């Protein structure tokens, strides 16, 4: 990965450059979501999410190396 997050970088698994920027958010009900777009904070420090596309996320952990893989559900 490059030191500049705005530059394209390859997927560590497949080598493609097809990434869409976004961030992961906790919905306070024990679920996480991936949210499209750049993370912006409101006056109270919370993430601004109104009007942004939200997608549920599932996570898998490798039992050998402990690498986490997060997948946004379609």
User: Token pair of 29, please?
Assistant: 């009900």
**34, 20 in Cβ contact below 8 A?**
no
Q: Which residue has the tokens 């912006």?
A: 40
**Radius of gyration, CA atoms only, the chain:** 14
- The answer to pTM > 0.75 is no
**22, 36 in Cβ contact below 8 A?**
yes
Residuewise pLDDT in 10s, the chain (74 residues): 444 555 666 777 788 887 777 888 887 788 888 888 888 888 988 888 888 888 888 888 878 887 788 888 87
């Amino acid at each position: 990965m490059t030191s500049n997050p705005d530059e394209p970088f390859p997927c560590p698994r497949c080598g493609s450059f097809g990434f869409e920027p976004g961030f992961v958010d906790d919905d306070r009900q024990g679920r996480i979501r991936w949210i499209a777009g750049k993370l912006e904070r409101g006056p109270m420090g919370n993430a601004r999410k109104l009007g942004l596309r939200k997608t549920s996320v599932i996570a898998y952990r490798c039992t050998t190396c402990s690498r986490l893989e997060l997948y946004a559900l379609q």
